[in-house]
Amino acid sequence: MGGARGGVSAPGDPEALAAAALRRAPAGIARAISLVEDRRPEARPAVWRLLRRLAAEGRGASCHRVGLTGPPGVGKSTLASAMVGELRRRGRVVGVLAVDPSSPRSGGALLGDRARIALDPGDDAVFVRSMAAGGDLGGLSRAAGSAVEVLSAVHDVVLVETTGVGQSETDVEHVTDTVIVAIQPASGDVLQFLKAGLLEVPDVLVVNKADLGAPAERALAELRSALGTLDAGAGRAGSPPVLATSGATARGVPELVDACDQRFAALVADGSLLARRRRASAAWAYGLLRTLWGERGVERAGGRAALVGRLEAAIDRGAPAVEAVYAEGSRLE
């Protein structure tokens, strides 16, 4: 019987959960995510069956997975909620995963509250879930990759909110197609961002809280000019779009959603989406494997390059990333 939100005592029937999630029943989606969060070894076969079924029957390649990241307090949750509003106006079905670095629930609850304020409370075309960040896994929790797979099977767009950028293999760029990096409207923050060499990470850059006026305009100008200089110096084809946004007033939010749509259309048009996802999933799987079996495990498995190659091949054959991890790991035990 349903109703259990969190730690269900038995892993649950993955076929029934998949069917309920594919109907986009909120309780079905919630229980499917709870299943992928279940760390008990006896839950694994059910997790893998669920993910395989969702991959086979879900939206898969037509869902755009978007990461939204940036420093604490930059306004990610507020911006995510404004993006959800804009996406709903465009008729999209949206899943949101808020990965909260500090407390297990507050970030998601906050985002949930904002989303509920911004939206029709009866709108079940938006699903919001929070997840505690995994202290052991860089920015994201162990189950975040699988949770994104669940959400992307049943939504047009999945937004993943995380704090901090460019930390490790297990960062948000390995579970999403597009990464938006939000920075504070203050010069110091722009410089810090540039110094930290984080320009490889974003596909779209936003200076948020643009409603603050002058500081945001200055930050925007600095960032554009720094990017222009870098591009000229490195001969890069093009830097990410830089936008001014405000989650509070929704300024720039339609343009941000446009930028995301354009990027996704380009990934689909040039055929790079699936290869990119496979590479990203393998990088994610590698990070998880290294966390679980350590550097020595990686060595015993033949080293990083060989391992990543095998993980990528397994994922290419249709294995969920998390299944590929444990298949490799079982050979180390």
Ligand X SMILES: Nc1nc2c(ncn2[C@@H]2O[C@H](COP(=O)(O)OP(=O)(O)OP(=O)(O)O)[C@@H](O)[C@H]2O)c(=O)[nH]1
CA distance 170 to 38: 19
CB of 214 to ligand X, least distance (A): 13
Enumerate residues 247-266 that contact ligand X by CB under 6 A. 247-248
Alpha helices per DSSP H over 119-200 = 144-154, 187-195
Query: Do residues 165 and 70 make contact, with C-beta atoms less than 8 angstroms apart?
Result: yes
CB of 240 to ligand X, least distance (A): 19
CB of 163 or CB of 178, closer to ligand X? 163
DSSP structural state of residue 74? S
User: What character string, x for contact with Mg ion (CB under 5 A) and - otherwise, covers 79-118?
Assistant: ----------------------------x-----------
CA distance 113 to 14: 30
Under rule CB under 6 A, residue 291 binds ligand X: no
CB of 69 or CB of 77, closer to Mg ion? 77
Tally of CA atoms within 13 A in the half-sphere of 107 that contains its CB: 24
Question: Judged by CB under 6 A, which of 45, 73, 104, 302 binds ligand X?
Answer: 73
DSSP structural state of residue 202? -
Which residue in the shown chain puts its C-beta closest to ligand X?
Answer: 75
CB of 88 or CB of 209, closer to ligand X? 209
Enumerate residues 151-210 that contact ligand X by CB under 6 A. 163, 208-209
Angle 14-22/144-154 helices, nearest 10 degrees? 50
Query: Do residues 97 and 147 make contact, with C-beta atoms less than 8 angstroms apart?
Result: yes
Q: How far is CA 106 from the centre of its chain?
A: 18
Under rule CB under 6 A, residue 130 binds ligand X: no
Contact partner at residue 184 from Mg ion, ligand X, none, CB < 5 to 8 Å by partner kind: none
For the chain, the straight-line distance linking the first and the last C-alpha, in angstroms and rounded, comes to 36
Enumerate residues 23-42 that contact ligand X by CB under 6 A. none
Contact partner at residue 11 from Mg ion, ligand X, none, CB < 5 to 8 Å by partner kind: none
Question: Which residues of this protein are in contact with Mg ion, per CB under 5 A?
Answer: 76-77, 107
